[in-house]
Structure 1
Amino acid sequence: MQKYIPENDSFISFVKTDGLVSTNLVSLLPDNLGNIWVASADKGLFRFNITDTIFTRYTKHSGLVSNKFSKVRFKLSTVELLFGGSNGFNLFSPGFIIKRASIPRPFFGNLYVNYKQAFPNLNDFPDRNFSTEVTNIKIELRSTDNVNPERYYYQCMLEGYDEDWIDVDRKYREISYSYVPAGDYNFKYRIGDGDRWSTYTAKCTFDFEQAFYNTWWFKLLIIIFIIIIVIAIIKQRIFDLNNRNKNLELEQRLFRLQMNPHFMFNSLLAIQNFVFKKDIKEAGNYISDFARLFRLILDNSRSEFIILDKEIETLRLYLKLQALRYENKFSYNISIDESIDVDNVMIPPMLAQPIIENSIEHGIFKKSTSGKIDINYNLDGDKIYFEVNDDGVGLSATKDSEKYSTHKSSALNITRERLKVLAKKHKYIVKFVIEEIVENNVVKGTRVGFYLPFRYRELNNKI
């Protein structure tokens, strides 16, 4: 069967996919409603809507006496149509048969969960429980009319979720739901022909269990977790501020130890002695060293880390002036591990000088003979181990001295506290050693040592 298109002088052929399932056509007859009725010799009667170009098939199930028609057809004056067939005549009013044609039975096709096919035939599993997280379901809607299903209307409703019936696209005939709240739902689906809906409605039930992240206990846990995080952040902030304040206080106390008024006064007296002896050149050199030392102390106190070379320069100037003050009663040596790059390695300042001062004033000074101080910087893994060895009188000989116990314990305690603050910040274990050097049961001096964190100037990273 073909339709002529006068606008472009062409024909359109109709085939099985258009709803014309028979190729053995025997007669045509138009009605007064804009339709053409087509009789077949084996597949029943077809109504062709000229406007929509849609074929509707009628068979014995629709009320015809037979599916086999002859060439006999006739249009009565009452607008009724008559078609002859193998078992007699079929007489009907087109308007009545159009309205009363049977509506196909609805049923379900595939069910897709989270965009994956879950059940190839939902009809076999009408009651579904979803215990896992479901974000999307898609249901295919099918009918018993596989020839021309697009001519019908489709509606569905998820009771408890949809407020009313939802119209479904007639071409694709599928419906999707996303993020449906937890609960039990009845899903219904029906088919209509434009005038009425099918008496049979396809039904199934869905039980959506609540996702764990939507449960009240999970939300409560999240709130508690957020509160804990906020409290932890606040506590950490308070801890950091306290740590910073404590560090500043310790730095100030160490700075006061470095700016020891006795050392300053005695150094100036020693320099004055050169002036009285009219050794102006030597006096000028020491004044220059004195000024340079305190300039370095002031500069170093402003930074958390300083270049190791600058720290060593500070210690050399300090020891030089102390040797002058004590009339060269001691010698000193500063030894640095060859693997340490003094121009690039940075260490915390103001930690070595108080230890060296203790060695001079409470170890060497109490000796009747001259003494020696050895200062060592050794690389130990990711830290530097600083050590001061003197050949003074040792701890036992000075522990009963009130001056010693007050001044020395103050310097050591402040240094220990500063090291603890640095260890917390830079995450390393504090090691502070103070012990006598004993050989053959004879005290030969005192050893003090501790670890220092360090950084490289180029990378500006802790190692």
Structure 2
Amino acid sequence: VSTDNAGIFIYQADDLSFIRKIDREAGLSVYHIRKCFQDRQSNIWIATSGGGIYKYAPSNFRHFDRETGLKGNRVYAVLQAGQSIIASNSEAGLVRIDTLGVRDTLDDARLLNVKIKALAEDTDGNTWIGTEGRGLFLAGISRRDSIVIDTSSQPVRIDTFHLQKPFVRILDESVGFHGRWIRKIVLNQDEVWIGTYSAGIYRFRYDVDDDRLYELKHFGRSEGINELLINDMLADTLGRIWYGTKKGHLGYIEKDKVHHLGNVLEQNTDIVSLCIKGEQLYLGTAGRGIWFSELYDTQDFVQLQGIKELTSNNIYQLIFDADGNLWAGTERGVDKIILNNVEQIQDLFHYNRNDGFLGIETCQNAAIRDRNDNLWFGTIYGLTRYQPLENKRVNIKPALAFESIEIFYEELDSVDPKLWFEQGRTLQLAPRENHLAFRYRTVDINNPEEIQYRWRLNQAPWSPWLEDNAINFAGLSYGDYLFEAQSRNEGWEESDVIGFRFNIARPLYEEPWFQRTVIGVIVLIIAGLIWRYIRRWKARNEAERSRLEMENHLLSLEQKALRLQMNPHFVFNVLNGIKAMSGGDTEKMHLTINKFATLLRAILNNSRQDHITLAQEVDTLRNYIEVEQLMATQPFNYEIEIEDSLDTEEILIPPMLIQPFVENAIRHGIMAVQREGELRIRFWQKDHYLYCAVTDNGIGINASRNGKKNTSHQSVALEVTRERIESLSGKESLQIEELIDPDGKVAGTKASFRLPVMTDY
């Protein structure tokens, strides 16, 4: 019911029972209401006269700030004291919140202009107050019995009165306590535990009546706490005091013995908050999220994960509600984390300004659960209470629609995508219209920044969930396409899938008939080029073949001529020798004639063949050497050594290949020395090659070259022979070297070469 001067009244529709009123306490500052209506997310929109438009969303949160009674917005610590809530309010002391509203408490000048970071209440109802820089305070009420004697009556009457007097005391060096920068206060039975910024931990007992501190003990580095900046402390059911530090260290104190566990997360991060549920210890960190472990296995911490992720990994507060749900305060609001039975995130709800959590960034460890199971969160913008009533949040399916469809950056405004998709219609596009852009959106008034989208094309796997609500497709090929998109809200409720069908026509060059025509033309062109190339290639080959045949014929004739040639000086000397023998040693003359005739016949026969057997070559060499012996002016010996494994009748070699080396060894080596000559010819086989070495004990190759005259025939023969050998066996197959004896003198010449083994089978 909207009114002109009293805001809005809400009644139950069936019985008209009053539910609540929307007024200034709910955030409505103008009471003259012109119109109100409810949207699909159960938000109530209120149009006022002169005050603009308000959005009212029923919420379990109630916020306290400067406008509702606080003296400042920052709330560093929260405590339940009896039926009241006490909160440290900026640097303006403490405030009390109860059924009477928000009011000051403990009006003490020493608690002003200082940050109160820790609050605790003991069993006597005294409030322990920890400050930054001013030390530890205790506030309470002292009770004394006073006796009153009335002597005016008979008999004399004696009455006892209980006097109560509030007090605020500071515990400093005067009572033996030296801590001034207090971070955390833990009361464990009658012991008081104080965590400090840089001095470690103190433990003591305190007698309020006598204002006396006793059994004081300090836990620092010498006691085993290696990192003294304490961020948070708490006590477990066994009475152990757990602590977390600025540099990520964890430990506990049991029976005055420190068990410092060190950097249990192996992460370079603060341990900001500690929380225990049952046998599990939870750690809230700065930048690394939430970790947990068994209380009795604190060397194996696991990061809290699940099907949803934390809104932020900067955890400032950790607290469990009455239903066992974990709440995490961050710089972005609070997360309500629902855990399964294996400590994994089963679901997660994030609350921020849009949900009534107006404080947004929470303050470190300023969170409590009161006796009514309400949760209180201290933030930098006030104090927020969460009342676990029936959840009023309506998590409905989001609605998704296309905002625009662009084809080559021009918006398509003649098509209704929703209607076309429902009717199964397809947009026909030209081949060049293959650049499309889709933009789509879900409107969520409560949490627009939590909306996520995904898309797919032609039933491909969905894209990841992202906040981006647009996608571009460039250079699509021809064919049928179906584009689909979907959204989800912060509760992971998914929208219906929307889609758009389109077809890109096949371009001309993709048409089968066009491709066949082009291929046919290309084949004809290639065939013509190949035919032309083959003709030219055949013509060139024919010319080259004719030229090579001519060269081969000339070379063959040249080789045969060389085979038939004998050194003219050698022939002349043989004939002169025979003539000289005719007047004397006729037997030697006949022997010489026979040897010479045999040699000439062998040369003539061999010159007609490309290859002869090694045995034939050896016989020719013997005839030649023996003729040279008969004609020589000084005697020399020769030896032809053939490896036993060689079959001279089967191995083939080119004819007249070795004779030039033998002739050179005799003429220019042995005949030039004044000692008995030695000529050695050796044949052996190795690795499919036939090796031959011609060795003499003449003057050496260098002296022979310097003294040669009229050797044009010999030089040509040797050069042709070298080319023949290298054509058969490759470069460097022929080696001619000078032999040196142990005294360093020239001992002769050695010519060696190799030929591929050839046989007649």
Q: Scaled by the length of structure 2, what TM-score is found?
A: 0.30
Q: Tell which has more relative contact order, 1 or 2 (C-alpha 8 A, sep 6+).
A: 1
Larger Rg, first or second structure (1 or 2): 2
Q: Scaled by the length of structure 1, what TM-score is found?
A: 0.48
